[in-house]
């Protein structure tokens, strides 16, 4: 079981956290939704796994490349 | 004609380039200026350039630029006697217009009743139909999750179709659906988005015209049933249903079609006794030139400089003078157009990554010089931060020339000289669009960017 970092691809404001620690996520399942420049952009699980940690909370501003969650794949 | 009300100081309930552009006209008219700003915009040009400025809240628009009470407070504290809403934010919010008027300030815009009627897409369609303007075939409104009704309506209209939020606009709250299978999911997603974004979850379905052009008519109503048009703008080049390049005249559309569209738009204004600047948007079938009313924007439009460049009119001055009661009604034949104008929207985004936003610091930012045939509207300067809280528009570049081809080349040269680094932008992508053979030939449609994305991106890389 490898730990996978989930990174944001863009700078934005965390609008909603839509998954919880312990959830079993399919590949592409959204973990949180960023709001950036009037767009809502999901940050999704890069592969199937168990959500171990969520490192951002609603209202946080995250920059491109920030690790916002960790999965056990 | 409205009673003469004096205006001496204008608060602009907006930010960035449009606030600056309105201030410019205010200064020409000898009026005082008041800026409002969020914590994210403290150092921006629109704040520095205004006579007075008031902080109205945290960065998120819901806590600053969209809070009616904060803007009213700012107006009263600074002694502003009129409010111009710009575009976006509260510009099409009837409640805001009403609050401004009932607090004794002058609202620079249409009546709250017209804003309310046109802001509701379904009611706007009914108004168009009442004056015999064709609308795109569409369904009734679905207030709540009503899958059986939706399926039936979709069968009648046929696929592809669009799911639209009744309260949406500017491409927000609009999704294409190609088959029955995805209809319910898209409808549900649109409803929940619309409930959050607009406080109204109702949606409707509309037939999707595969090769369509987006052509709009700039109108101006005098509030007494008189109205004129200031010709059309072609805004077909879009990504994610949002405009990227606009121009006037619309290339390749027969003269009689232009004329009929303009007449239709003016008829809508007359019927509603429209007051102020507005835009009537049409979708035009690129093959048959049949046109259908889409919606009416009851505000100054982002791309209004295109019209100003070809007509020599200052639309913002007309808005302010009408609100002040000092504008003399114009006759249609007093409005003439000459030459060709093109506007490009420089966005902070990455075309190679599906136009994803690219906020960050403008390490280098040097717009080209502005001789008379070129206009650059921007809210930023070098070393400013482009934050993720607002739309990605960095600048509008507008070029004028006697012919379309000369305007196109003028624009390529202006964009080539626009120095910007530190964030990703669509600058080179815009140049690729302008140089594209189909664009050069005037063969534009709303699918242009999606269909030619790969080759446009390849041209950027060269």
CATH code of the domain covering residue B153: 3.30.1490.20
Q: In this structure, is residue B291 part of a structural domain?
A: yes
CATH of the domain at B325: 3.30.470.20
CA neighbor of B342 nearest in space, from B420, B426, B448, B236:
B236
CATH of the domain at A49: 2.40.50.100
Do the beta carbons of residue B337 and residue B311 sit within 8 Å? yes
Distance from CA of B331 to the nearest CA of A (A): 40
String of b and e for B17-37 (b: at least 16 CB within 10 Å)? Answer: bbbbbbbbbbeebebbbbbbb
Q: Do B390 and A38 touch (CB under 8 A)?
A: yes
The beta strand positions in B64-137, using DSSP E, are 82-84, 106-107
pLDDT in tens, B65-86: 999 999 999 999 999 999 999 9
B192 and B329 housed in the same domain: no
Please tell me the distance from the alpha carbon of residue B62 to that of residue B237, in angstroms, as a whole number: 30
- Which tokens go with B107? 């609202």
| Chain A residues whose beta carbon lies within 8 Å of the beta carbon of residue B349 | 37
Alpha-carbon dihedral sign for residues B245, B246, B247, B253: positive
Q: What is the distance of C-alpha B178 from the center of its chain?
A: 27
Q: How confident is the model at residue B98 (pLDDT cuts 50, 70, 90)?
A: very high
Q: Do A11 and B388 touch (CB under 8 A)?
A: yes
Q: Which residue numbers of B have CB closer than 8 Å to A's CBs? A: 60, 172, 193, 348-349, 353, 356-360, 388-392
The answer to whether residue B4 scores a pLDDT higher than 60 is no
Domain extent, residue B59, equals 9-108
Mean pLDDT over B219-248 rounds to: 96
B161, B177, B207: which is the final residue of a domain?
B207
Q: Do B391 and A10 touch (CB under 8 A)?
A: no
Domain count, chain B: 3
B355 and B313 housed in the same domain: yes
Do the beta carbons of residue B280 and residue B216 sit within 8 Å? yes
Distance from CA of B393 to the nearest CA of A (A): 9
Q: How confident is the model at residue B1 (pLDDT cuts 50, 70, 90)?
A: very low
Q: State the pLDDT at residue B170.
A: 57
Q: What is the distance of C-alpha B244 from the center of its chain?
A: 11
B203 and B230 housed in the same domain: no
| Chain A residues whose beta carbon lies within 8 Å of the beta carbon of residue B392 | 37-38
Residue B287 has a CB neighbour count (10 Å cut-off) of: 11
CA-atom Rg of chain B in angstroms:
21
B145 and B239 housed in the same domain: no
B77 and B164 housed in the same domain: no
Q: Are strands A61-62 and A67-72 parallel, antiparallel or unpaired?
A: unpaired
Mean pLDDT over B395-401 rounds to: 98
B226 and B323 housed in the same domain: yes
Q: Which residue numbers of A have CB closer than 8 Å to B's CBs? A: 9-13, 35-41, 61
Please tell me the distance from the alpha carbon of residue B36 to that of residue B255, in angstroms, as a whole number: 43
Please tell me the distance from the alpha carbon of residue B381 to that of residue B91, in angstroms, as a whole number: 25
Residue tagged active-site, from B15, B213, B275, B299: B299
The beta strand positions in chain A, using DSSP E, are 3-7, 12-17, 24-25, 30-36, 39-44, 49-54, 61-62, 67-72
Taking CA A24 as the corner, what is the angle to CA A20 and CA A27, rounded to the nearest 5 degrees?
Answer: 105
B237 and B357 housed in the same domain: yes
The answer to whether residue B258 scores a pLDDT higher than 90 is yes
Domain extent, residue A7, equals 3-72
B179 and B261 housed in the same domain: no
- Which tokens go with B55? 């902080």
B226 and B191 housed in the same domain: no
| Chain A residues whose beta carbon lies within 8 Å of the beta carbon of residue B40 | none
Q: What is the pLDDT along chain A (73 residues), one digit of tens a residue?
A: 799 999 999 999 998 899 999 999 999 899 999 999 988 889 999 999 999 999 999 999 999 999 999 999 8
What is the percent of chain B with per-residue pLDDT over 90, rounded to a whole number?
A: 84
Tell me what the pLDDT averaged over chain B comes to. Answer: 94
Q: Do B388 and A61 touch (CB under 8 A)?
A: yes
Helix (H, G, I), strand (E, B) or coil at B303: coil
| C-alpha distance from residue A45 to each of A8, B59, B84, B255, B342 (Å) | 11, 29, 44, 53, 42
pLDDT in tens, B138-149: 898 888 767 778
pLDDT in tens, B269-311: 999 999 999 999 999 999 899 999 999 999 999 999 999 999 9
B152, B175, B207: which is the final residue of a domain?
B207
| Chain B residues whose beta carbon lies within 8 Å of the beta carbon of residue A61 | 388
pLDDT in tens, B27-60: 999 999 999 999 999 999 999 999 999 999 999 9
B371 and B432 housed in the same domain: yes
Q: Please say if B299 is a catalytic residue.
A: yes
Domain count, chain A: 1
Q: Do A13 and B172 touch (CB under 8 A)?
A: no
- Nearest chain A residue to B387, by CA: A37
Do the beta carbons of residue B406 and residue B420 sit within 8 Å? no
pLDDT in tens, B329-344: 999 999 999 999 999 9
Q: State the pLDDT at residue B148.
A: 78
The beta strand positions in B106-211, using DSSP E, are 106-107, 138-142, 161-169, 172-177, 203-207
Question: Would you call the peptide bond into B249 cis, given omega within 30 degrees of 0 as the criterion?
Answer: yes
Q: In this structure, is residue B103 part of a structural domain?
A: yes
Distance from CA of A22 to the nearest CA of B (A): 25
Please tell me the distance from the alpha carbon of residue B273 to that of residue B223, in angstroms, as a whole number: 5
pLDDT in tens, B156-191: 999 999 999 888 765 667 889 999 999 988 998 888
B178, B207, B236: which is the final residue of a domain?
B207
Distance from CA of A72 to the nearest CA of B (A): 27
Q: Which of A10, A35, A38 sits opposite B356 (nearest CB)?
A: A10
Q: What is the distance of C-alpha B398 from the center of its chain?
A: 15
């Amino acid at each position: 079981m490898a730990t996978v970092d989930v990174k944001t691809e863009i700078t934005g404001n965390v609008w909603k956290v839509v998954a919880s620690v312990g959830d079993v996520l399919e590949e592409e399942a959204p973990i949180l939704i960023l709001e950036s420049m009037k767009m809502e952009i999901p940050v999704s699980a890069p592969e199937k796994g168990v959500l171990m940690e969520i490192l951002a909370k609603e209202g946080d501003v995250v920059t491109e490349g920030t690790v916002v969650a960790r999965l056990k794949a | 004609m409205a009673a003469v009300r004096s205006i001496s100081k204008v608060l602009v309930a907006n930010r960035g380039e449009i606030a600056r552009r309105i201030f410019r006209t205010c200064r020409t008219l000898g009026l005082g200026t008041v800026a409002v700003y969020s914590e994210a915009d403290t150092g921006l040009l629109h704040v520095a350039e205004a006579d007075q400025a008031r902080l109205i809240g945290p960065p998120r628009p819901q806590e600053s630029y969209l809070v009616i009470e904060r803007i009213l407070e700012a107006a009263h504290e600074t002694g502003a006697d009129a409010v111009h809403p710009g575009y976006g934010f509260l510009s099409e919010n009837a409640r805001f217009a009403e609050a401004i008027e009932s607090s004794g300030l002058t609202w620079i815009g249409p009546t709250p009743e017209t804003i309310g009627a046109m802001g509701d897409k379904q009611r706007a369609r009914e108004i168009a139909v009442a004056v015999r303007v064709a609308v795109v075939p569409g369904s009734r409104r679905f207030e709540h999750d009503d899958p059986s009704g939706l399926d039936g309506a979709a069968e009648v209209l046929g696929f592809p179709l669009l799911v639209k939020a009744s309260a949406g606009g500017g491409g927000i709250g609009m999704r294409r659906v190609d088959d029955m299978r995805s209809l319910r999911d898209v409808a549900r997603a649109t409803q929940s988005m619309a409930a959050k974004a607009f406080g109204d979850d109702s949606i409707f379905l509309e037939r999707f015209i595969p090769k369509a052009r987006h052509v709009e008519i700039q109108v101006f109503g005098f509030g007494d049933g008189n109205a004129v048009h200031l010709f059309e703008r072609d805004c077909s080049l879009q990504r994610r249903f949002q405009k990227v390049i606009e121009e006037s005249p619309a290339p390749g559309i027969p003269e009689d079609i232009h004329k009929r569209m303009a007449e239709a738009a003016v008829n809508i204004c007359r019927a509603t006794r429209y007051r102020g600047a507005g835009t009537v948007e049409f979708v035009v079938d690129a093959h048959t030139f049949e046109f259908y009313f889409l919606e009416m924007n009851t505000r100054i439009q982002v791309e209004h400089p295109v019209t100003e460049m070809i007509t020599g009119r200052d639309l913002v001055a007309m808005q302010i003078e009408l609100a002040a009661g000092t504008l003399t009604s114009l006759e249609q034949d007093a409005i003439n157009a000459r030459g060709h104008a093109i506007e490009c929207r420089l966005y902070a985004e990455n075309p190679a990554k599906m136009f994803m936003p690219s906020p960050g610091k403008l390490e280098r930012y040097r717009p080209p010089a502005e001789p008379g045939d070129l206009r650059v509207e921007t809210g930023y300067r070098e070393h400013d931060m482009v934050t993720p809280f607002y739309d990605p528009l960095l600048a509008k570049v507008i070029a004028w020339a006697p012919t379309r081809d000369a305007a196109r080349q003028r624009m390529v040269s202006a964009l080539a000289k626009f120095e910007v680094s530190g964030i990703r932008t669509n600058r080179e992508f815009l140049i690729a669009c302008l140089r594209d053979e189909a664009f050069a030939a005037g063969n534009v449609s709303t699918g242009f960017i999606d269909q030619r994305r790969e080759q446009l991106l390849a041209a950027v890389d060269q």
